[in-house]
Amino acid sequence: MFCFAVLPNVEQGLLANLHNYVQINAGQLGRIAERCKRIVPIAVDRAIVELINPIVEKSVTTACMTTHELVSKVRPLHRKNST
């Protein structure tokens, strides 16, 4: 029904130009092909946004926890070395 062309590395303008990367096979879809050309990029954009938000949130949480653990382990060592 539809496929994606090879996507470049994710860059800021990718989602804004998503319609350029979605190819609709009009032969298989017939009359609804034009409607799909408008709807599918919007649906894919929304799906990407729904997936990215939790991933970024989890990554930031992990980074904060890791930083906290490292700082809590390094701080006592730093105090011992400075006295």
pLDDT tens, position by position, 43-59: 888 888 788 888 888 99
- Give the residue with greater pLDDT, 82 vs 37: 37
Statement: residue 10 has pLDDT above 70: no
Range of the domain at 63: 2-82
Half-sphere exposure of 62 (CA within 13 A, CB side): 6
Helix, strand, coil percentages in the chain from 3-state DSSP, rounded to 5: 70, 5, 20
Residue 48 corresponds to which tokens in the numbers above?
Answer: 């990407």
* Number of structural domains the chain divides into: 1
Category of 82 on φ-ψ map: left (φ > 0), alpha (ψ -120 to 50) or beta: alpha
Q: How does residue 6 score in pLDDT terms, banded at 50, 70 and 90? A: very low
